[in-house]
Amino acid sequence: MAMAMAMAMAMARVTISLRSLRAAFLMYRRTLLGLAALPLLAPSVARALDVPEGPVVLTLSGKLRQTNRAGAAMFDLAMLERLPQASFSTRTPWYSQSRKFTGPLLRDVLAVVGGHGSQLRAQALNDYRVDIPADDAQRFDLMLARLLDDKPMPVRDKGPLFVIYPFDQRAELRNALYFSRCAWQLRSIEIL
């Protein structure tokens, strides 16, 4: 009887050891899988910002990590076109009907230059200036529209760039505060 009891206890220890070994293996495997996924989750490695080859249409300055000329980040239209593009249709106070806007989201442009401020001071060709909370670029699909109804925007029609909110996506955006934060004929953004 004592021998049977000793054998049972030995078998229990082996079972517990095998369970512990299996648990350790599973934890180790999860850790390895997690480490293997890190490159997918980490932001892409910063690379040098291209130098514009065409006329500069947008200059970002202030608190940024990536520059390409004179301590600023300058973009021509081709550089903006190479960024991920978004589109939305929305009604605005400036057009009688809903219009389709296309261009990079402001949060993507800020990510490319490593922008890290709390305010964005947008300035238009006519010297109109407006401060936009940097958080708006994260909370909303705030766009640097370069196309209006799939066509480039000339200066006489609020181009070549227009900071525009997706007014029809969220009712809270349809008010004078957000309308005033839009800047057409955009030429620069200072990150404060």
Q: What is the pLDDT of residues 153-181, one digit of tens each?
A: 999 999 999 999 999 999 999 999 999 99
Whether the per-residue pLDDT at 16 is higher than 60: the answer is no
Q: How confident is the model at residue 73 (pLDDT cuts 50, 70, 90)?
A: very high
Pinpoint the alpha helices (H) of the chain.
2-41, 77-82, 106-113, 134-139, 176-180
Q: What's the CA gap between 120 and 117, in Å, rounded?
A: 7
| pLDDT tops 50 at residue 31 | no
Q: Give the per-residue pLDDT at 48.
A: 73
In the predicted structure, residue 147 carries a pLDDT above the cut 90:
yes
Please report the pLDDT score of residue 43 as a whole number: 41
Of 9-13, 25-29, 54-58, 66-70, minimum mean pLDDT range: 25-29
Average pLDDT, rounded, for the chain:
85
Q: What confidence tens digit (pLDDT) does each residue in 94-139 have?
A: 999 999 999 999 999 999 999 999 999 999 999 999 999 999 999 9
C-alpha 159/C-alpha 46 separation (Å) is 30
pLDDT at 183 over 60: yes
pLDDT at residue 7, as a whole number: 59
Domain boundaries, the chain: 1-42, 56-191
39 pLDDT higher than 50: no
Q: Which helix (H) or strand (E) holds 91?
A: none
In CATH, 56-191 is 3.90.420.10: yes
Average pLDDT over residues 178-188: 98
Burial of 163 (0-12, 13-18, 19+ CB in 10 A): buried
User: Looking at the predicted structure, is the pLDDT value of residue 4 above 70?
Assistant: no
Name which residue leads in pLDDT, 2 or 183.
183
pTM score, two decimals? 0.75
Q: What does the alpha-carbon distance between residue 21 and residue 27 come to, in Å, rounded to a whole number?
A: 10
